[in-house]
Structure 1
Amino acid sequence: MKKLLYLLLLIPIAITANDKKTPSAIKEVTVYLNGAQITRTSNFVLNEGTTELKFTGLSPKIDENSIQISGLKSVSILSMDYGINYLDKFMLMPEATAMIESTKKLTEEIELLKNRISGLQEEELLISKNRQVSSTSESLDLEKLKQISTYYRKRITEIRDEIFTINKEIATKNTAIRDLNLQVKELTSGPAVAQGELVITFDTTITINLDLVLSYIVSDAGWVPTYDIKSENTSSNLQLKYKANVYQNTGNEWKNVKINLSTGNPVKQTTSPVIDTKYLNFVSGYNYQSKAIKKNKYYYNPSVKKVTGVVTDASGQPLPGCNVLIKGTNIGTQTDFDGNYTIVIQRGQELVFSYIGMQTAETPIYASIINTKLDEDNEALEEVVVVGYGTELQGKVAGVRVRGASSISEPKLPLYIVDGIPIPDFTEGDIDTNDIQSLEVLNSYKATAVYGSRASNGVIVITTKKSTTEDDVTNTTFAIKKPYSIKSDGDLIAIEINTFKLETTYQYLAIPIINENVFLTASFKNWEQYNLLPGEANIYFKGGFAGKTVIDPYKTTKEMVVSLGIDSGITVTRKQDRNFKSKSFLGNNRVLNRAYDIEIKNNKNTAVTIKLMDRIPLSENKEIKVSEIETYNANYNDTKGLLTWEVNLNSKETQKERFSYQVKFPKNKHISL
């Protein structure tokens, strides 16, 4: 029994003897737009049997599910446990440890100096005693006594001067110790520091040397695309420098490690969706149908401290009074009459745009210029129009049958137009109310004028929703050749990715209805091959800083155009011709005549070619008629209502352009030109 008890006591001792902290080092980091993958290496020997190793000093922000281990050879892992340990700061800070060591060294030096003082004081005491003996000696003549006294006086003075100097040195060292202690206190004050720990239990049948590779995903790290666009003159090609502002606050310093930059996002939801059968039944009121989750193309940029931009509707019209709020805060502003806004970013990572009748939009703060378009709130429209339209139409048009509305049996049925196509045998259930974007009822008089005799019983015009998809660019990884050291403090570190020479076309652009300045623009094609992401760009022209712009490949089609700034050497003015302006009435309609004169002048010493643009309004309502259009020298896109001139001006030359149109609409209504 005693022998068995002895063996049982030995077993835990043997296992504990194998437990030990194992050092590891960060060798490579793949930084994503949001998050980072850390790769650590560790070399150690495993003895035969079961061994528990503890890897300390890891980040406290590890996604436990992302931990991967390779390099095991024939070794098995029995268990793995990740946790967080809270340690005193001085245990983790080499600066504090070095200061404490310096304090110890200074203290030792002070003790040595004090020993020197003690020796000097003993010498002074001995000299004093010898002086007393010498003064009482009768064998010394007067001259000899003077010499001895002079020596004693000189030596005692030297001793006291040396003691004074040593005391000054001690005082200096004491001051240094006090300063170091204050710095250590400042560094180590506050709560304990969190550090991640990973405990792994290995099992092996042989003694083996392992080169273990440990990788995991951490949060609170990322990179932000940024660009430098440089041009020497309008005859040279653009130079595009693609850079990354890398930041991390993971709890570990990355010291001299290999950096990879990835356009991927490891924290995205990767679980595939599941679709079930949908069963139909009668519903009452508005039946909400959840929308598909969309992909987010933009990522938070911690370097942005102020954001400006314009908020418009889908047609490009500015939205005055739109609320702009930093999500999660009470910091906000409103757009002015032209839809412009400016907001200072004190904290928060997303902006929220809200406007009555429009869908609320949220976007990460990815640049200092964020222009936003808001779509109509179709769900609110459905609640007002579609949900009640069954009952409403039953009182207006016979035989309306759409899911959610009861049928009324009438011999005369209206004509249904769905997405512009007549549906002669429209029946209940053909369209779900959730799929309807808008609905319009035309009485027989209006309907016959548009659709002919088949619409004599009226027309119901239904427009259904159109689904949209958003695709991310293919994930790309940039391997940075130079190793970097990045502290865990959240500061931005600029890393150059690549530099490209772009075949560039320069053009002067003037749109005086929007801005009475002439801008120099540069455009280039085939930008897709460079794997660009949305980001801010610093513009340098002719060796000077020309301003900032935003590169957004998601909003770019064939050509990417960047503005190089305003050229004050070219002026443009746009004025309404007051002599042509008129207002009259024709029956039940009001008639407005408008004409505009544009003058553009080249004050430069060289000839220039300018792209001049303006617009003629288009009607979205058949009661509003735009006619009598005179475009003169302009190229007119009647689909978009845009006017374009190519103006060639010699030095000091001036040119004038003109256009006009007429608008007719019911006199009891109002429009905004």
Structure 2
Amino acid sequence: MKKISLVLIALVCIHFATAKNGGGNTVKAALNAVTVYRTGAELTHQAKAQLAAGNNELVIENISNALDPNSIQVNCDGNVTVMGIEFSTDYLKEEVKSPTVRLLEDSVEKISRELDKTRSSLNIVNDLISVLKANKEIKGTQTGLSVAELMKLMEYYKTKSGELQNELAALNQQQVKQDKQLKKLNEQIAEEQNRNTKSAGKLILQLSCAIAGKYDFNISYVTQNAYWTPFYDLRAANIASPLKIVYRAKIFQTTGIDWKQVKLSLSTSTPTQTGNAPLFKTWFLSYINPVNFYNNTLAMENTITGLAGRVPGLSLNEVEATGFASKIKVRGLNSITSDTAPLYIVNGSEMSATDFSKINANAVKNIEVLKDAAAINLYGTRASNGVIVITFKDGLDDYITVSDKELNVIFDIDLPYDVPTNGKAQTAVLKEYEVPATYQFYAVPKLDKEVFLLAQITDWEKLNLMPGEANIIFEGTYIGKSFIDPSSTQDTLNLTMGRDKRVVVKREKLMDFSSVKFLGANKKQTFTYEITVKNNKKEAINILLKDQYPLSQNKEIEVELVESDGAAVNTETGVLNWKLQLAAGESKKVRMSYSVKYPKDKLLNL
């Protein structure tokens, strides 16, 4: 009895000591916002935990398994002090399989069982065929087999052999189908499992809590296993219409956790920076290939506001989670009756106060308050308490807020997004622009035998474009792909809209006007080219035609432009530009001629 009492006392003491020190506590963090950079992403989680007074150890799960430990930030209110943070990866935690993977694995198990049965049947049939072949030798009594017995034996062998061979062929065919089906299922499982969910990340926090209670934690960190790339759609109905630029983003992530219904922001910067003061080093000149990179950091702003404070002239009470109030009054309007509710007009239709209170504030594009005569003139006496006119956002473009910062641009998407951790591109539409454009045809027949259509736009800096691939849709037809390079110092940005085979260009060397002459120790060659352009379209076009002649950096080599046929000549680059106007069905010719004089014992790349 004394031993039992001592054990009970020890257990009670351990219980009180654990309660006093807080003990261990495990909670799951909810991901609610993500800022994706060109390289990397910043994830923001929220978690709630019950803490005891004194020291606590809190384990926060559902954290990415690939993060920068130096970027971890944990915030709580003043009653809780964070004394230590430890990040660890739990490799022993069982992987959570999606319903799709479980269904596929069940199918694999079923097909595998059927395949085993097929293989067993194949072995049996092959054994029977072997037995039949081993016993096909005819052995009778000393007097031999009768004709009837021989015919009966042969008929039996023929029938049985045919049955076994047919069964063998059917089983082989069945095995091939099952093998193919099993291979496809395993490949699909491998595709589904490419999600970086083999292990889970968790944070272990050492906390000191002044007052026991339930506390909210905000956790943020940077992971390198996510990024986004821009791409575009360039759409034009014809050469007389404005150009529509659809700005899109491809988002990739393998952070180990699925992003479900998160507030998503896309930033053009990267979350890395150097922390040391700069020092001069010896500067050596060398040849380089310039690479554009981003090396700036920016604080993330994630705020979602409701109706409160957005519209002047309103008094709001009892603000709901949707962002709207359950009781709204138009300030400046009073009534002796108990009914002071305004009239609600949503997208042109009247709506009840109950339905109005259920509207998601993030879906509202425009809010207008009407009162007095302005309200009554439009909606009659029922609008005596004022009118709230609301217009919903139309299309994803209305849900995008562009913040043009000093060093970068941030696209805030108000709609919650799902991005699974499978490394596949998830597409988001960022903005749609319709800009005035001047269309011009462009040809460089020395380099390409076809004619290109260019869309020239001004004030392109306001579009926040980034280098990226573009799909070209002209006159309702997909033309192909192009590339937008906004790193231009020109006032006009040229966007390639594809090739037009209805405009033909041809460049040929005129042998009658080309010659080779020897002048003492020198050799002089003359080259003459004629370029023909024909417009086979039904409307007139403008075309920019380019060619070039060589330049010399050697005093022994003399180059002279003999004929330019009215071209604008850039003597620093050797480029000739012809701006031509061609009516429908019209063709024009231009001519270029140049000479090169150099020592006759030398070879030039002519």
Instruction: Give the paired residue count.
Output: 411
Matching of residue 476 in structure 1 with residue 409 in structure 2: yes
- Counterpart amino acid of residue 85 in structure 1: D
Sort the Cα spacing of 1:85 and 1:294 in 2 relative to 1 into closer, same or farther, 3 A: farther
Q: Secondary structure at the match of 1:579?
A: helix
* Shift, 1:563, TM fit: 1.4
- Residue in 1 aligned with 2:552? 619
For 1:47-446, list aligned pairs within 5 A.
47-90=52-95, 92-93=96-97, 95=99, 193-266=198-271, 268-275=272-279, 296-297=292-293
* Shift, 1:44, TM fit: 2.6
Q: Secondary structure at the match of 1:528?
A: helix
Find 2:518's aligned residue among 572, 585, 600: 585
- Residue in 1 aligned with 2:473? 540
Q: Is the 8 A contact 2:261 2:416 kept in 1?
A: yes
In the aligned structure 1, how far is the partner of 2:591 from the partner of 2:289?
Answer: 48
Matching of residue 602 in structure 1 with residue 535 in structure 2: yes
* Shift, 1:88, TM fit: 4.7
Matching of residue 22 in structure 1 with residue 27 in structure 2: yes
* Shift, 1:193, TM fit: 2.1
Matching of residue 573 in structure 1 with residue 495 in structure 2: no
In the aligned structure 2, how far is the partner of 1:295 from the partner of 1:271?
Answer: 22
Sort the Cα spacing of 1:208 and 1:192 in 2 relative to 1 into closer, same or farther, 3 A: closer
- Residue in 2 aligned with 1:511? 444
* Shift, 1:98, TM fit: 8.1
- Residue in 2 aligned with 1:344? none
Sort the Cα spacing of 1:291 and 1:66 in 2 relative to 1 into closer, same or farther, 3 A: farther
Q: Secondary structure at the match of 2:461?
A: helix
In the aligned structure 2, how far is the partner of 1:96 from the partner of 1:641?
Answer: 63
Sort the Cα spacing of 1:235 and 1:484 in 2 relative to 1 into closer, same or farther, 3 A: same
- Residue in 1 aligned with 2:131? none
| Superimposed CA distance per residue, residues 648-672 of structure 1 (whole angstroms, 9 cap, x where no aligned partner) | 2222222111121111111111111
Find 2:41's aligned residue among 22, 36, 56: 36
In the aligned structure 1, how far is the partner of 2:527 from the partner of 2:288?
Answer: 46
Q: Is the 8 A contact 1:225 1:243 kept in 2?
A: yes
Q: Percent identity?
A: 33
* Shift, 1:15, TM fit: 6.1
Q: Is the 8 A contact 1:15 1:51 kept in 2?
A: no
In the aligned structure 1, how far is the partner of 2:488 from the partner of 2:406?
Answer: 13
Sort the Cα spacing of 1:657 and 1:516 in 2 relative to 1 into closer, same or farther, 3 A: same
Sort the Cα spacing of 1:667 and 1:292 in 2 relative to 1 into closer, same or farther, 3 A: closer
Structure 2 residue runs of 5 or longer lacking an equivalent are 1-5, 108-181, 296-404
Q: Secondary structure at the match of 1:509?
A: strand
| Superimposed CA distance per residue, residues 60-100 of structure 1 (whole angstroms, 9 cap, x where no aligned partner) | 1011000011233331112111111113545x235399879
Matching of residue 525 in structure 1 with residue 458 in structure 2: yes
Q: Is the 8 A contact 1:510 1:519 kept in 2?
A: yes
Q: Is the 8 A contact 1:86 1:192 kept in 2?
A: no
- Counterpart amino acid of residue 88 in structure 2: G
In the aligned structure 2, how far is the partner of 1:80 from the partner of 1:532?
Answer: 40
* Shift, 1:475, TM fit: 1.6
TM-score normalised per structure 1: 0.56
In the aligned structure 1, how far is the partner of 2:61 from the partner of 2:557?
Answer: 74
Sort the Cα spacing of 1:15 and 1:560 in 2 relative to 1 into closer, same or farther, 3 A: farther
Q: Secondary structure at the match of 1:297?
A: coil
Q: Is the 8 A contact 1:88 1:192 kept in 2?
A: no
- Counterpart amino acid of residue 95 in structure 1: P
- Residue in 2 aligned with 1:442? none
Sort the Cα spacing of 1:192 and 1:614 in 2 relative to 1 into closer, same or farther, 3 A: closer
* Shift, 1:11, TM fit: 6.7
In the aligned structure 2, how far is the partner of 1:572 from the partner of 1:519?
Answer: 11
Q: Secondary structure at the match of 2:487?
A: helix
In the aligned structure 1, how far is the partner of 2:587 from the partner of 2:289?
Answer: 54
Q: Is the 8 A contact 1:225 1:245 kept in 2?
A: yes
- Counterpart amino acid of residue 207 in structure 2: F
After superposing the two structures, state which structure 1 stretch, 480-489 or 623-632, moved more: 623-632
Q: Is the 8 A contact 1:585 1:667 kept in 2?
A: yes
In the aligned structure 2, how far is the partner of 1:291 from the partner of 1:595?
Answer: 36
In the aligned structure 1, how far is the partner of 2:30 from the partner of 2:442?
Answer: 55
* Shift, 1:594, TM fit: 1.1
- Residue in 2 aligned with 1:662? 595
| Superimposed CA distance per residue, residues 91-119 of structure 1 (whole angstroms, 9 cap, x where no aligned partner) | x235399879x99xxxxxxxxxxxxxxxx
Sort the Cα spacing of 1:294 and 1:11 in 2 relative to 1 into closer, same or farther, 3 A: farther
Sort the Cα spacing of 1:14 and 1:46 in 2 relative to 1 into closer, same or farther, 3 A: closer
Q: Is the 8 A contact 2:22 2:53 kept in 1?
A: no
In the aligned structure 1, how far is the partner of 2:98 from the partner of 2:453?
Answer: 53
Q: Is the 8 A contact 1:223 1:247 kept in 2?
A: yes
- Counterpart amino acid of residue 40 in structure 2: G
TM-score normalised per structure 2: 0.62
- Residue in 2 aligned with 1:638? 571
Moved over 6 A (4+): 2-8, 96-100, 186-192, 287-295
Q: CA RMSD in A?
A: 3.5
* Shift, 1:296, TM fit: 3.8
In the aligned structure 2, how far is the partner of 1:658 from the partner of 1:250?
Answer: 61
Structure 1 residue runs of 5 or longer lacking an equivalent are 104-178, 279-286, 300-471
* Shift, 1:22, TM fit: 1.2
| Superimposed CA distance per residue, residues 22-80 of structure 1 (whole angstroms, 9 cap, x where no aligned partner) | 12100001111111111000123322211111011211101100001123333111211
